Chains A and B, each alone.
Chain A
């Protein structure tokens, strides 16, 4: 489904990604972890073409994202993306947040879009908040709405960039629950997170990155039980002991 082949990326002189290669098959859940600044966000932003790359190719569902003149808007509308800081549109009600791209990109009618929006709000447990504005909701609620907003586009895969790291501890679970359910229903997911409990529970594979390179890319149990590299061991001991 997502095929990342030997990609490298520079910000000016600075090399953010170095020869990264990995695959995410249909229905697979892959967790990406690693120290701050290792290039996790950059990697998943490349998958939907939010960031251009200078070397290598990325294919999503057979189409080359990195090709010159690739139809990025069409591609992006098929890949959901959830951000650390939710990024809900502050001037729109919850319902309008869910309808905007459905109407403008997928050209759904208002009624169709609202119907889909309401179904998804119910699914993430936010039905009674549809007329509120984002700033009237808690972080956990906002993030669940952001997930519903992405799902409204009927994506073939979902990308998550640290979806719970801006949340107060007591709200993390409500968001993770939604993500676990999604994973169990067979959504293809690439998740940058430090929630190792989530990784153990639903991830098929874990990718560990350091200074722009993929250092480990192994089945979940393998990764936790006997990480190969010193850096991954070091990282795990820090993250699991706090």
Chain B
């Protein structure tokens, strides 16, 4: 193979700036989407387990809808189709005046999609809590919302920290799809550097290393969280 390795392009000011800015957008999209996903995912996940038929059906519909349409398609729908479907004034605003339209769209699409996956984890977590515990709470006179708040949610949260870690990592990886609607996040910037410099290997290696570092950091944070919330002597995982 006849390839001229040249790592120093990565340190040239212009390209370094691109990488840093790409990194910044990736973090911004992923973290914003994560916040939306946690809030909506928790609500929808809880909604699937409540005794109210209407609420649980609506929440199930949400999960099935958002989980089963490919994320890329959802990105396109939010970016291209939704502005045409909403009332005209709003559509015009979305297309012309909304600040950072690519960023906002990517955050909404990724956030709502990830929410459907988190909702499933939350529901599974709640359903793993032995039913006798809610019965005990009920027998002591706790209301349904108190049972959720003090018993079901704290226990299931601890149970789902490991699967949430992998969702958290997935959000960073999925954020790269935002490049398809024109957001210059990390992957898009590496691609751009590759095109300008013909140093594709270096550019994508840099992106890879950055993604791996993000993943390691995220994993460490979640491990600490898991340690911190561990129940002494519970589920045989005493550290």
A residues with a Cβ closer than 8 A to B are 48, 50, 73-79, 81, 83, 85, 87-91, 100-101, 104-105, 132-133, 135-136, 146, 149-150, 153
Contacts and interface: CB of A to CB of B under 8 A. Distances in A.
Given A89-B133, A91-B234, A153 B154 contact: no
Given A83-B132, A91-B158, A76 B231 contact: no
Contacts of B130: 85, 87
A138 to B, nearest CB: 12
A78 B140 CA distance: 8
Interface in B124-161: 130, 132-133, 135-143, 146, 150-151, 154-155, 158
Interface of B: 130, 132-133, 135-143, 146, 150-151, 154-155, 158, 231-234
Which of B135, B139, B151 counts the most chain A CB atoms within 10 A?
B139
A76 B132 CA distance: 16
A152 to B, nearest CB: 9
B126 to A, nearest CB: 14
Contacts of A153: 140-141
A73 B136 contact: no
Contact of B234 (A48, A87, A135, A149): A135
A56 B141 CA distance: 23
Which of B132, B140, B142 counts the most chain A CB atoms within 10 A?
B140
A73 B143 contact: yes
Given A74-B141, A135-B231, A150-B140, 20 more contacts: A48-B139, A75-B141, A76-B139, A77-B140, A79-B139, A81-B139, A87-B136, A89-B133, A89-B150, A90-B231, A91-B158, A100-B140, A100-B142, A101-B141, A104-B150, A105-B141, A105-B146, A133-B233, A135-B232, A135-B234
A90 B142 contact: no
Contacts of A73: 141-143
Contacts of A104: 142, 146, 150
A89 B149 CA distance: 13
Contacts of A135: 231-234
Nearest to A153: B140
Which of A75, A77, A91 counts the most chain B CB atoms within 10 A?
A91
A79 B151 CA distance: 20
Contacts of B140: 76-77, 81, 100-101, 105, 149-150, 153
A132 B138 CA distance: 24
A48 B143 CA distance: 14
A91 B154 contact: yes
Contacts of B154: 91
A104 B136 CA distance: 14
A133 B136 contact: no
Contacts of B143: 73
Contacts of A76: 138-141
Contacts of A77: 140-141
A36 to B, nearest CB: 18
Nearest to A104: B146
Contacts of B132: 83, 85, 87
